[in-house]
Structure 1
Amino acid sequence: MSGYEHSDSFDKGVVPVGSIHQLYYEQYGKRDGKPVLYLHGGPGGHISKANTVYFNPEIYRVVLFDQRGTGRSKPLLELRENDTSHLLADLETLRAHFKIPKWHMVFGGSWGSTLALLYAQAYPHAVGSLVIFGVFTATKLELDWFRDPLGVNNLFPEAQDEFLEFLSEEERDHPNASYYKRLQSNDPKIRLEAARAWNRWDLSIGWGPMETPDFQMLDDEAWSVPHALLEAHYMVNDFWLDDGQILKSENLAKIRDIPGTILHGRHDMVCPPKTAWRLQRELPHLQLIWLSSGHMPFASETRQQLMQVCDQYADQDYSA
């Protein structure tokens, strides 16, 4: 089975948040079903109907939304009032807007897993269960793996050289900040070229050993520029989190009673598997499923396993 097929969204619109932003959302599945909050990755990713394939439409009510500054949320590429604390507050705004007492499931991969964990720690009463994959906890160790000379570039030296050679020799000393400056250029050509180079690195390391990278995504300006700009925006600001914040004992204690499942690819080169292992060691009540895939959720095994996990949680009742 390739995934559950959903009819068109039964509801879509925008929700104003703060003084600047409007969040675009869509709802799928059963109108009075068990509510799922889907958190896309990035930062700077966006939603699509394809995100619903994991959820049985006869059971689940699936809420998708584009995070601030990306997708069909407005204003596009807006960096003001765009940080982690604002995104977490948005999740509560959406819950109130949809009059949902408690999410049956909060579901997210990569950056979406980061938001899911932070949201559960901030609002444990609002989260019935967690399903997270390609786990990222925004520690210095993970960021160093992604960019440091001793990290993943040792496995992808040609991709790393291409990432750096796009910049001038002077800019290469601080590549994240240099890309970030270019991505904020008023010249659309400069912005797009920088976005393509930034995203090519992500895509080069994102697939597993038996998968073929899809660089056609680079030609989609509507994806490429927001993804690169927002990812750089969050990265240069250390995601507005203290190092190891999610993994601090006092924060983990807040979610010890929330059931959940972690899925992580053994060949995930974007988010090192050690992160998932460390999280599960600290939260032994969470189920950990190892996959043979890489970071991207498109692999057949990843999709199938996520569907099975969501089917398992469909029988549970977390309304209390």
Structure 2
Amino acid sequence: MQTLFPQIKPYARHELAVDGPHVLYVDESGTPDGLPVVFIHGGPGSGCDANSRCYFDPGVYRIITFDQRGCGRSTPHASLDRNTTWDLVADMERIRLFLNIEKWVLFGGSWGSTLALAYAQSHAERVHGLILRGIFLARPQEIEWFYQAGASRIFPDYWQDYIAPIPEDERHDLLTAFHKRLTGNDQIAQMHTAKAWSSWEGRAATLRPNPQVVERFCDPHRALSIARIECHYFVNNAFLEPNQLLRDMHKIAHLPGVIVHGRYDMICPLDNAWALHQAWPGSELQVIREAGHVASEPGITDALVRATEQMASSLLNLQPDEA
């Protein structure tokens, strides 16, 4: 079974000013003249970490990681101002141009798969191929499943802690109730609500309980950006038209793609990946038997690393001058 490549340090770090007040953190690692790949993190609001660049052979890939607006090392932290799906798509295009990259591979999981699809459908001519994990298409039924009713029946004990900050008379519309508190002026209530939101996600993310994953989600700095930005996006249906990503798959049907999804993913159920695969006949769907949602589960890590190796081999064979 494949594991992550060893951790490496970036060879370049950038602070890229986009629309005020946002400044994006971007780094590059691996081989400067290698096959460009961009790691698109989840959330929205999570940010990258040291493992984000470890799914790729550093001797083959030029690895780009960046923290999306309002999270990670990008500033201002947890900002919702000018923070939409289409702002992030524009940011990715700014990064590509800033780094003088003609085309790149898109690698995204969870919300990162959503943003990868949105970018590819807007800039198909700039994409070599896609490697996607834990598919989230941002349809209302997917948001409803995890944040209002559905996953609550699988994890009723965790659910009680999630809804605890919300009075009973507001629980018929949890997104609105959370949004009110996460964007309010009471900072104590804001952080209390953010931890409840992020803890729910962290506890449901893995097939087997994983305290390290929960701890990462509950870190106060990360929890605030995850909860505020996710809730902001989801009350706005991720700024997408109904069923937009599946509707527009014809725009990227010619691109190669690998879809990796845990069979027991309780955050983004497997039917999301199945629907995407049906709309993308040329894609390869890998269902990982003993896995939930997160990339760090062994079966998912194995599939993702193999996918990056397969993608590089295929693309570089077509382009010998890049080998």
Residue 128 of structure 2: aligned partner: 128
Find the counterpart in structure 2 of residue 306 from structure 1.
304
Say if 2:245 is the partner of 1:278: no
Does 2:105 align with 1:108? no
Q: Distance in 1 between matches of 2:9 and 2:146?
A: 37
* 1:66, distance to aligned residue in structure 2 (A): 0.5
Q: Distance in 1 between matches of 2:29 and 2:159?
A: 40
C-alpha distance in structure 1 between counterparts of 2:218 and 2:250, whole Å: 44
TM-score, structure 2 normalization: 0.93
The equivalent of 1:172 in structure 2 is 171
The offset of 1:141, in angstroms, is: 2.0
Could you say which residue in structure 1 is the equivalent of 2:205?
206
Cα distance in 2 for partners of 1:211, 1:218 equals: 13
Q: Does 1:88 align with 2:89?
A: yes
Aligned residue in 1 for 2:35: 34
Q: Secondary structure at 2:128's aligned position in 1?
A: coil
The answer for the alignment partner of 1:78 in structure 2 is: 79
1:93 is displaced (CA, Å) by 0.4
Q: Choose from 233, 238, 252 the match for 1:255.
A: 252
Name the amino acid aligned to 2:128: G
1:280 CA displacement: 0.7
Which amino acid letter does the alignment assign opposite residue 228 of structure 1? A
2:255 aligned with 1:227: no
Q: C-alpha distance in 1, partners of 2:67/2:6?
A: 21
Whether contact under 8 Å (1:17, 1:23) holds in the other structure is yes
What is aligned with 1:288? 285
Partner residue, 1:23: 24
CA distance in 2 between partners of 1:154 and 1:169 (Å): 18
Separation of aligned partners in 2, 1:82 and 1:279: 26
Shift of 1:179: 1.3
- Assess if the C-alpha contact under 8 Å between 1:6 and 1:57 holds in 2: no
Distance 1:152 1:7, change over 3 A: closer
Query: Secondary structure at the residue paired with 2:242?
Result: coil
Q: Spell out structure 1 runs of 4+ moving beyond 6 A.
A: none
SS of aligned partner of 1:306: helix
Q: 1:194 to 1:19 in 2, by over 3 A?
A: same
Shift of 1:109: 0.1
Provide Cα deviations, 1:250-301, integer angstroms capped at 9, x if missing partner: x111101100100000000000101111111111100000002000111111
Count of residue pairs brought into register by the alignment: 315
- The answer on whether the counterparts of 2:148 and 2:174 sit within 8 Å (CA) in structure 1 is no
Q: Which residue of 2 aligns with 1:142?
A: 142
Query: Is residue 3–residue 54 contact of structure 1 (8 Å, CA) maintained in 2?
Result: yes
Deviation digits for residues 164-198 of structure 1 (CA, Å, limit 9, x no counterpart): 23211233232111112211233432221111111
Unaligned runs of 5+ in 1: none
Aligned to 1:99: 100
Aligned to 1:53: 54
Give yes or no for contact 1:106–1:130 (8 Å, CA) kept in 2.
yes
Q: Distance in 1 between matches of 2:34 and 2:214?
A: 37
Aligned residue identity for 1:247: L
Write the deviation string for residues 10-51 of structure 1: whole angstroms up to 9, x where unpaired.
000211112321111111100111100110000101111211
Q: Within 5 Å, which residues of 2 pair with 1:185-204?
A: 185-204=184-203
CA 141–157 in structure 1, closer or farther in 2 if over 3 Å, else same: same
Q: 1:31/1:238 Cα in 2 relative to 1: closer, same or farther (>3 Å)?
A: same
* Aligned 8 A contact 2:45 2:226 in 1: yes
Cα deviation for residue 219 of structure 1 reads: 4.4
Matched-pair contact (CA < 8 Å) for 1:264–1:273: yes
Corresponding residue of 1:66: 67
SS at match of 2:168: coil
Q: Confirm or deny: 8 A CA contact 1:44 1:228 kept in the other structure.
A: yes
- 1:71-100 deviation per Cα after TM superposition (whole angstroms, max 9, x unaligned): 111111211110011111111100000000
Contact 1:36/1:60 (8 A) holds in 2: yes
CA distance 1:218–1:19, change in 2 (3 Å)? closer
Contact 2:148 2:173 in 1 (8 A): no
Q: Which moved more, 1:139-148 or 1:129-138?
A: 139-148
